[in-house]
């Protein structure tokens, strides 16, 4: 009987899984999708992967092709490299603005369907063309993909908690009470820079928020725990000062009063505790009185700007704050299914209630 096992064992060893030795592979680390005017091949695919040059240096190669679908274009890329093309190391997928306006879902589906692509694949938008961002050769910066990935991780860590990976994007896409958002990058002066947040209605890009507006958006998103608040405020008559707060989001909740009336109301409560890092006004910020004054000014500012932003979101019919989820959780199932979500969202009266507490004025009086 043991002989039988040995024979089977030998048989096993004769077989072997398909080898993918890392140095024989083109490990794509970023892909870019764009729409072109070409009727026949409407999709432009840009891939970039690291190579080791003959003198042992770590370098990259970028290939751009046009094709009908993403997988067809990928087949074309295969003919353009001597390495075996593998997409298991894809870190970033960039989408051009035009493509994003048409809808991301078909491309996203082909990404999640592929078992070799991980669920932590980060997504981002390019202000113009994704290929521009990926083709850009920044001196001494190395891989664009690594640069973008680090950038995205940093953005996420600092204060802009975005729906940045494919799992999170799809999760919010499929959740009927929230809309996904994605960070936008653009090429400027031989550099890749963050340039705001793209708002999605379902899977279609509708608007790009400027970074200054976007920072208010993140104030109202629940996942954010701390951040930096930087704003010009009116301190006295005709007098402006710039203030910077390192804040901690102490409390955040969205309340929907459960009234049976048609027009819904919603209130967003946030509570910030912050340390003054910069203040250009003449007043002494360590004085509790002044602090209270500044607190009041900031609160007003946030309420004002926030209201403006939310009105805009409502007009665009995008709900990146997930207010509809709270609406849903207040209703029963049939009511919710019967509701025209975006219509009711548009008509909703959304209040912002902010509480700002200044904790200290730093280590200087």
261 vs 334 by CB, closer to other proteins:
334
Least separation, in Å, of the C-beta of 155 and other proteins? 16
Question: Which residues face 251 on adjacent strands?
Answer: 271
Q: How many residues does the chain have?
A: 365
Please report where in the chains the tokens 């093309």 appear, as a residue: 85
5 binds other proteins (CB under 8 A): yes
251 binds other proteins (CB under 8 A): no
Question: What's the CA gap between 184 and 126, in Å, rounded?
Answer: 5
Structural contact between residues 289 and 306, judged by C-beta atoms closer than 8 angstroms: no
Would you state the structure tokens that stand for residue 34, as one six-digit string?
Answer: 């764009």
Helix 288-316, helix 211-220: angle, nearest 10: 100
Least separation, in Å, of the C-beta of 331 and other proteins? 8
Contact residue for other proteins among 66, 72, 128, 175 (CB under 8 A): 175
Residue span 72-111 as binding mask against other proteins, x where in contact by CB under 8 A, dash where not: --------------x-xx-x--------------------
Stretch that binds other proteins, among 68-76, 174-182, 210-218, 259-267 (CB under 8 A): 174-182
Question: What's the CA gap between 198 and 209, in Å, rounded?
Answer: 6
Structural contact between residues 217 and 280, judged by C-beta atoms closer than 8 angstroms: no
Please list every residue from 45 through 74 that binds other proteins, using CB under 8 A: 50, 52, 56, 58
In SS3 terms, 199-232 reads as EEECCEEEEEECHHHHHHHHHHCCCCCEEEEEEE
| Sequence-separated (6 or more) residues with CB below 8 Å from residue 307 | 350, 352
Residue whose C-alpha is closest to residue 346's, from 306, 309, 321, 316 = 316
Question: What's the CA gap between 125 and 133, in Å, rounded?
Answer: 10
Would you state the structure tokens that stand for residue 132, as one six-digit string?
Answer: 């521009």
171 binds other proteins (CB under 8 A): yes
5 vs 363 by CB, closer to other proteins:
5
In a 3-state reduction of DSSP, which class is residue 259? coil
86 vs 295 by CB, closer to other proteins:
86
264 binds other proteins (CB under 8 A): no
Residue whose C-alpha is closest to residue 170's, from 96, 230, 124, 108 = 108
176 vs 231 by CB, closer to other proteins:
176
Least separation, in Å, of the C-beta of 162 and other proteins? 14
Least separation, in Å, of the C-beta of 52 and other proteins? 4
160 vs 229 by CB, closer to other proteins:
160
Contact residue for other proteins among 212, 280, 329, 349 (CB under 8 A): 329
17 vs 282 by CB, closer to other proteins:
17
183 binds other proteins (CB under 8 A): no
Contact residue for other proteins among 167, 194, 269, 342 (CB under 8 A): 167
Contact residue for other proteins among 44, 74, 186, 328 (CB under 8 A): 328
Kindly tell me the burial class for residue 194, based on how many C-beta atoms sit within 10 Å of its own C-beta (0-12, 13-18, 19 or more): middle
Please list every residue from 265 through 294 that binds other proteins, using CB under 8 A: none
47 vs 235 by CB, closer to other proteins:
47
Contact residue for other proteins among 42, 103, 106, 118 (CB under 8 A): 118
338 binds other proteins (CB under 8 A): no
Could you tell me how many residues of this chain bind other proteins (CB under 8 A)?
A: 53
CA angle 183–187–193, rounded 5-degree value: 45
Stretch that binds other proteins, among 10-18, 35-43, 211-219, 354-362 (CB under 8 A): 10-18
Q: Characterize 246-273 residue by residue with b for buried, 16 or more Cβ atoms within 10 angstroms of its Cβ, and e for exposed.
A: bbebeebebebeeeeeeebebebebbbb
State the residues that interact with other proteins by CB under 8 A: 1, 4-5, 8-9, 11-13, 15-23, 25, 27, 29, 50, 52, 56, 58, 86, 88-89, 91, 115-116, 118-120, 146, 149, 167-168, 170-177, 322, 325-326, 328-329, 332-333, 336
């Amino acid at each position: 009987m043991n002989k039988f096992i040995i024979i089977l064992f030998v048989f096993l060893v004769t077989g072997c899984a398909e080898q993918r030795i890392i140095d024989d592979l083109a490990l794509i680390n970023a892909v870019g999708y764009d729409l072109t005017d070409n009727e026949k091949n409407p999709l432009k695919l840009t891939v970039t992967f690291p190579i080791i040059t003959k003198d042992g240096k770590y370098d990259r190669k970028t290939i751009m092709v046009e094709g009908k679908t993403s997988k067809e274009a990928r087949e074309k890329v295969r003919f353009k490299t001597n390495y075996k093309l593998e997409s298991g190391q894809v870190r970033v997928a960039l989408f051009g603005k035009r493509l994003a306006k048409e809808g991301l879902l078909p491309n996203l589906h082909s990404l999640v369907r592929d078992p070799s692509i991980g669920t932590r694949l980060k997504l981002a938008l390019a202000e113009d063309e994704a290929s521009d961002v990926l083709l850009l050769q920044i001196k001494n910066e190395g891989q664009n993909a690594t640069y973008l990935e680090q950038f995205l991780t940093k953005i996420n860590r600092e204060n802009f908690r975005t729906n940045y990976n494919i799992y999170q994007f799809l999760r919010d896409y499929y959740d009927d009470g929230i809309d996904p958002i994605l960070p936008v990058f653009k090429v400027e002066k031989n550099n890749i820079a963050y340039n705001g947040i793209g708002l999605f209605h379902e899977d279609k890009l509708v608007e790009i928020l400027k970074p200054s507006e976007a920072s208010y958006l993140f104030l109202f998103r629940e996942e954010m725990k701390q951040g930096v608040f930087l704003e010009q405020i009116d301190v006295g008559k005709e007098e402006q000062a710039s203030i910077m707060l390192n804040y901690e989001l102490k409390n955040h909740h969205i309340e929907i009063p459960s009234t049976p009336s048609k027009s819904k109301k919603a209130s967003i409560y946030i509570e910030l505790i912050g340390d003054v890092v910069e203040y250009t006004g003449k007043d002494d910020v360590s004085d509790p009185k002044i602090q209270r004054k500044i607190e009041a000014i900031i609160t007003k500012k946030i309420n004002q700007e926030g209201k403006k932003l939310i009105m805009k979101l409502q007009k665009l019919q995008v709900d990146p704050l997930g207010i509809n989820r709270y609406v849903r959780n207040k209703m029963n199932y049939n009511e919710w299914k019967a509701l025209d979500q975006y219509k009711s969202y548009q008509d909703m009266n959304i209040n912002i209630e902010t509480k700002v507490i200044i904790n200290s004025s730093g280590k200087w009086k």
